[in-house]
Structure 1
Amino acid sequence: MRYSALMTDLYELTMLAGYFDEEMHDKPAVFDLFFRKAPFQGSYAAFAGLAPALEYLEQLQFTGEDLDYLSSLGLFKPRFLEFLRDFSFRGSVTAPPEGTVVFPTEPLLTVEGSLAEAQFVETALLNIINFQTLVATKAARLTTAAGPDSTVIEFGLRRAQGPDGGLSVARAAAIGGVFGTSNVWGGQVHGIPVKGTHAHSWVMAFEEELQAFRAYAECFPESCLLLVDTYDTLESGMPNAITVARELRERGHEILGVRLDSGDLAYLSREARRMFDEAGFPDAKIVASNELDEHVIHSIRDEGGRVDIYGVGTKLATCHGEGGGALGGVYKLVQFDGKPRMKTTSDISKATLPDRKSVWRVLEKNGDFHLDLITSDGEEPKPGDRVYDPANPVRQKTLPHDAEFESPRRQVMQDGNICVELSTLEQARDRCMDQLQRLPAGSLRLTNPHIYKVSISQKLHQLRDSLVARHEP
């Protein structure tokens, strides 16, 4: 998808015009994109949106129509508009692969280039990364709640934030572990398996439920999944579905299963499973939908529900939940013209970490994650190093003597061109599922989870302190 260069906030353009007038626009700058708090009152986020973000950067240019519109605003000088005619992003980007489990404070994207290039792309990068990471995180919470024996599919197009939002939801949900989508356009664009059945209106359009089921089975004998709660799930829907299942088998086909869309889903799924098993259809799937989220799914499992597939729509597409709705990603200048920069504030939790940085994942001997460490660029951490809580420097700890280190980030764009092979959605999903299982115990709890530690090195701690002291009144 090609994004317009005008997908930006006006202040990006007014700042750019000001930098141009002040002849600052060509000086080198470094920005970090990060978030301060994990969404959904959780402990982590699942990184997503890198590929479309890099595609945006690679394709960035102002069209004649864009420049005509900007001229019509009466804000910008002709000389600046002429500068925009040849404007493009020629910088570099460092980022983790999609599907990486990430945490507050640590840089996700580091964007380097001229001040003009690196500043202007702020809004678009935040738009892409914030939303897709939020959706992928919600999807990861859903798939974790569903457990290893069940899958989740995405049903959220009709409740998504417009057509583009629906497309982004399908993509990001796949990174977070969802195995299919009802969004046919999402299936076409992103290669995601498309899934679905029929609505209640299909059943209601026929005189009898059994007639409706037979007609659907006739149309789709290899993928017959019947919605059984239009009238009465256990007294009508399931008996009629079993009748159709027997008729399909006589013709050499097997019913795919049934969908439950109302009522006590734990109880109804147990009964539907029992009825299918007693009728000789142990492989028929039970699909559940109806305003599901991770808490409802956890409850269904906890009460002995027998759901094979959860169809989640509204609360995935809209990222509903405490602390949801938006990922508070921000984009901050950390170096300008070769000198470190930081935002200082009375609230240390909102102060930024200066200069170019590296992110390290500190590993246990078995490969599980111990903590993440942010260091100054080029700094190599060692076992036994003293590290600091970025929000409370009084809290310190020593890295384990047998700690191992890996860097989750790499350079992904150089001179304005993508310079690595990006992950497929399947690779990103597998990475996310693997890393979730390597978090410390309790990190995946839906309520009061263990908060994964992110620390800063002593060198970075000292640099920040020196800059704070310089700006003290």
Structure 2
Amino acid sequence: MDIKERARARVEEIGALPVYRDRHLTLLTDLYQLTMMYGHFRAGRHETRVVFDLFYRKNPCGNGYVIAAGLEQVVWYIYNLAFSEDDLAYLRSLGMFSEDFLSYLRHFRFRGDVYAVPEGTVVFPNEPILRVEGPIAEVQLIESAVLAFINHQSLIATKARRIVEAARTNVRHPGSTVIEMGLRRSQNADAAVFGARAAFIGGCVATSNVLAAQSYNIPVAGTQAHSWIQSFPSEYEAFQAYRAAFPDNTVLLVDTYDVLRSGVPNAIRVGLEMKAAGQSLKAIRIDSGDLAYLSKRARQMLNDAGLADVQIIASSDLDEYTIRDLLTQGAEIDAWGVGTRLITSEDCPSLGCVYKLVAQQFGDRMEPRIKISENPNKITNPGKKKVLRLYVNGSATADLIALDEEVYDPSEPLELFHPIHTYKRKVVQNYEMEELLRPVFVGGELVYELPTVQEIQARVETQLSAFSSEVRRHLNPHEYHVDLSKPLWDLKQRLLHEWRR
């Protein structure tokens, strides 16, 4: 099969997953997308060709970067985009649209071009994550849904990465891992499933969400709740019953009554019985209390009982800050179950991607367009663009946003300058250049084979390894250089001056 056949086969395979099956999302849009489409249709300009960029302006959570995620949903949505008769009947009932427009929608399909950075790519403010080109009615329609998909998963993948990297600072337990456990605290079912997917992309090793695990072949993890313990006459009997049910994966929740006086002693009793029977207690979990103090005491008790191999799992409103704080206190924790603060990205619950017009066809020419604001941060970069990443000796040194037609020779020195403080300049030599935006749809035809989440997770690791620790650190990260090319900078200044005149 060629790439187009493989791409179609892969998206059909994804469409059969439980999270996608039998779902119709064409009307997952804001009304103003449809009113603008109708206005363009009535004016006879709905076929006018345009270019839109999707990007964000500020890194979330005080982070130094974002992990791009959500492209799979975008592809599935566009691939299946069509108005059903039920959709048309509803739109007719609004009394807002003419019959000839509804007839146009009946035969609607996306015929544009979509270029995107692959999921798992490290991206920075103002860089196009998606570039969409095509007839304005088509490009306008997809805005709201595409923003929702990219905003959500990119945010959760980035938050997960912060938490995973905090856990990896565990010098006592260098293999420390994070399990996503946020289903019950997510905003809804889709947020739970796609949030679990994004968390895995960010580096979590497993999820408690069975539907997400089934859909994406993610390892699933879970043990018992406090109600299990409470439902038995005694904690010891509850532990014994769980051991009998899962002798090869016995993890015991030890904080239902008293961690150190009841939970750990009963877990040790069961653990010793398992050891005598040729089995092994896998782990205990602490879900409340002073996790640093309790984990250290529990570790000592387990070691003294000859159960040094039993791991300690911690949960209870964790995030990157509490994990780092616990580790500075010497907490003896091997794995972390993280829920609410991950699946909701509690401290920064939105990413803020935007979708802006940057070029439009006038006659036989594609002319750059710019949005101007009193807020300088909201002034857009005009024109059809690409994003180039420069590597020196394998390390990412800067990104360059350039006009699509620009050509660079890596054998020639390249001067970069700050797009606002232009006196800040540096010359890059002997560099390699990577173009980040890849073709996904061309002329409405899918040309991109979607990777698995395991491949995307591996891409995250590879991507981040190219960046300095100063860029990756959580507190006051170094600002990675994202510059405009000289032709793009000149174009932007020219349009600004023309507007002032």
TM-score category (smaller protein): over 0.9
> 1:185 maps to what in 2?
211
Aligned to 2:418: 389
CA–CA distance in structure 1, aligned partners of residues 249 and 63 of structure 2: 37
1:464 and 2:485 correspond: no
Of the candidates 391, 399, 413, which is equivalent to residue 372 of structure 1?
A: 399
Of 7, 10, 30, the match for 2:31: 10
Is contact 1:295–1:446 with CA below 8 Å preserved after alignment? no
Q: Secondary structure at the residue paired with 1:443?
A: helix
Q: In the TM superposition, what are the counterparts of 1:54-453 in structure 2 within 5 Å?
A: 54-147=75-168, 149-321=175-347, 324-337=348-361, 338-365=366-393, 367-381=394-408, 382=410, 384-390=413-419, 392-453=420-481
Which TM-score applies when normalising by structure 2? Answer: 0.91
Q: Give, in angstroms, the shift of residue 436 of structure 1.
A: 2.3
Measure the CA separation in 2 of the matches of 1:468 and 1:409: 27
CA contact (8 A) 1:28 1:115 kept: yes
| Structure 1 residue matching 2:212: 3-state secondary structure | helix
**Conservation of the 8 A alpha-carbon contact between 1:386 and 1:458:** no
Q: Deviations over 1:164-187 (max 9, x none)?
A: 111111111111111111111111
Q: Which residue of 1 aligns with 2:171?
A: none
Secondary structure at the counterpart of residue 442 of structure 1: helix
Q: Deviations over 1:145-173 (max 9, x none)?
A: 11052111111011101111111111111
Shift of 1:395: 4.2
Query: Structure 1 unaligned runs (5+)?
Result: none
Where does the alignment leave 5 or more consecutive residues of structure 2 unmatched? 1-19, 169-173
Structure 1 length-normalised TM = 0.96
TM-aligned CA distance change 1:234 to 1:428, over 3 Å = same
User: In the superposition, relative to structure 1, how do residues 416 and 273 fare at CA in structure 2: closer, same or farther (>3 Å)?
Assistant: farther
Give the deviation of 1:247 after TM superposition.
1.7
Would you say the 8 A contact 2:64–2:474 is kept in 1?
no
* Mapped partners of 1:379, 1:81: distance in 2: 41
- Letter aligned with residue 381 of structure 2: L
Any conservation in 1 of the 2:201–2:460 contact (CA below 8 Å)? yes
Mapped to 2, the partners of 1:43 and 1:184 lie a distance apart of 32
What letter is aligned with 1:425? V
Report whether the alignment pairs 1:30 with 2:51.
yes
Distance 1:291 1:369, change over 3 A: same
Residue 313 of structure 1 deviates from its aligned partner by 0.4
Post-superposition shift, 1:345?
2.0
Find the aligned partners of 2:463 and 2:322 in 1 and give their Cα distance: 24
3-state SS of paired residue (2:371): coil
Q: What's the offset of the Cα at 1:393?
A: 4.4
1:50 paired residue number? 71
Q: Give the conservation status (yes or no) of the 8 Å contact 2:156–2:199.
A: yes
Deviation at 1:414, TM superposition (A): 1.9
- 2:6 alignment counterpart: none
Tell me how far 1:222 sits from its aligned partner: 1.0
- In structure 2, what is the Cα distance between the partners aligned to 1:437 and 1:266? 31
Q: Distance in 2 between matches of 1:213 and 1:87?
A: 59
Partner amino acid, structure 1, of 2:375:
D
Greater displacement, 438-447 / 119-128: 438-447
Structure 1 residues 36 and 214, CA, compared in 2 at 3 Å: closer, same or farther? same
Q: What's the CA shift for 1:438?
A: 2.5
> SS in structure 1 opposite 2:397?
strand
Confirm or deny: 8 A CA contact 2:416 2:428 kept in the other structure.
no
Using the TM superposition, give the Cα deviation of residue 417 of structure 1 relative to its aligned residue in structure 2, in angstroms: 3.1
Letter in 2 for 1:318: T
Q: Verify the 8 A CA contact 1:181 1:193 in the aligned structure 2.
A: yes
CA contact (8 A) 1:440 1:452 kept: no
- Once residues 473 and 383 of structure 2 are traced to their aligned partners in structure 1, the CA distance between those partners, rounded to angstroms, is 34
Overall identity of the aligned pairs, in % = 45
Alpha-carbon RMSD across the aligned residues, in angstroms, is 1.4
Residue 10 (structure 2) aligns with: none
State which drifts further: 100-109 or 393-402. 393-402
Kindly provide the CA deviation profile for residues 16-59 of structure 1, in whole angstroms up to 9, marking residues without a partner as x. 00011111111211111000000012111011000111110000
CA distance in 2: counterparts of 1:182 and 1:66, whole angstroms: 36
- What is the alpha-carbon distance in structure 1 between the residues aligned to residue 71 and residue 403 of structure 2? 23
Matched letter for residue 167 of structure 1: V
